[in-house]
Amino acid sequence: MAELIRQMTEQTTTRLERIAALAEQGGLDAAVELVVESVVDGGVLQAFGTGHSQAFAMEIAGRAGGLIPTARVALSDLVVVGGQPASVLHDGSSLERDPAVVDALWALTDAGPADVFLIASNSGVNGSVVGYALAAKEHGHPVIAVTSLDHTARVTPKHPSGKRLSEIADVVIDNLAPYGDATLSLEGDIAGDIPVGAVSSMTAAFIAQLITILAAERLAASGATPPVYLSANIPGGDEHNHRLESRYGDRLRRHA
């Protein structure tokens, strides 16, 4: 047990250190600049991910220490605000692979002209993710992608365009997850080696936080006050947040 814990710690921390080094060398600057330009121009950061990549969108949108002009796009929006029956969500893996959901999802997005789209997908090939990125580009919005370049290069795109998310985005950030996401293996007597220890959610969350931190720093350096959430669980948090949220009306989507 202790050895597996050590190995997982190493697999995670070495990747986080590589991403931090990339950021220090300016490797995230293009993404940060798009985010800053959007905030300055009154835009909203539209964050989208399916499956476990929903965690990335939740890191971007609506949390303490995060930027206020953010919205989380999710396939569940089709039911929560789109009026579709809950049954469409029963097979989530099928829905995320279906490019046919994009038109309905886009219609619910309410994108403004200055909005930028941050889309996470470890594989970068599922139909809904690729289709949504294409829709954002077709409507004139920049797209920032967080994906595993190792994984996406080794799998077949599921969208009719034959494209991968990494081939659509203006800025591509590698989450450094390996093919298959798992970093460790257990020896199995019957099934052979058993893959465990996925890292894409942790590295993507770190990337989301770095983009947020660097964007806020750049806004502050320009003399602007970064519109950042306070925790709702500290005195004055709700009042601070509601005051800044009011600038954006109902464009800030936060679903449970």
Q: What is the pLDDT along the chain (256 residues), one digit of tens a residue?
A: 788 999 999 999 999 999 999 999 999 999 999 999 999 999 999 999 999 999 999 999 999 999 999 999 999 999 888 888 888 887 767 889 989 999 999 999 989 999 999 999 999 999 999 999 999 999 999 999 999 999 999 999 999 999 999 999 999 999 999 999 999 988 766 556 789 999 999 999 999 999 999 999 999 999 988 999 999 999 999 999 999 999 998 889 876 5
Provide CB contacts within 8 A for 164, sequence distance 6+. 124, 125, 130, 147, 152, 157
Amino acid at 30: A
Q: For residue 189, tell me if it sits in a domain.
A: yes
Residue-level pLDDT at 188: 65
In a domain, 254, yes or no: no
pTM, two decimals, is 0.94
CATH number at residue 55: 3.40.50.10490
| Per-residue pLDDT at 253 | 80
Instruction: Report the alpha-carbon distance of residue 147 to residue 155 in Å, rounded.
Output: 13
| SS3 label, residue 177 | coil
Q: How many domains, in total, are found in the chain? A: 1
User: Does residue 233 belong to any structural domain of this protein?
Assistant: yes
Q: Does some domain include residue 117?
A: yes
Range of the domain at 229: 2-248
The answer to the question of residue 174 being in a domain is yes
Residue 171 within a domain: yes
Q: Is 186 domain-assigned?
A: yes
Burial classification of residue 30, based on how many CB atoms lie within 10 Å of its CB (0-12 exposed, 13-18 middle, 19 or more buried) = middle
pLDDT in the model for residue 171: 98
Residue 249: per-residue pLDDT = 87
Q: Exposure string (b/e) for 122-137, b if CB count within 10 Å is 16 or more? A: bbbbbbbbbbbbbbbe
In a domain, 234, yes or no: yes
Query: What pLDDT, on the 0 to 100 scale, is given for residue 1?
Result: 72
What pLDDT sits at residue 91? Answer: 72
Predicted confidence at residue 2, as pLDDT, reads 84
Kindly state the helix (H) or strand (E) to which residue 125 belongs, with its residue range.
none
Q: What is the pLDDT of residue 80?
A: 87
Predicted confidence at residue 46, as pLDDT, reads 98
Specify the pLDDT at position 56.
Answer: 97
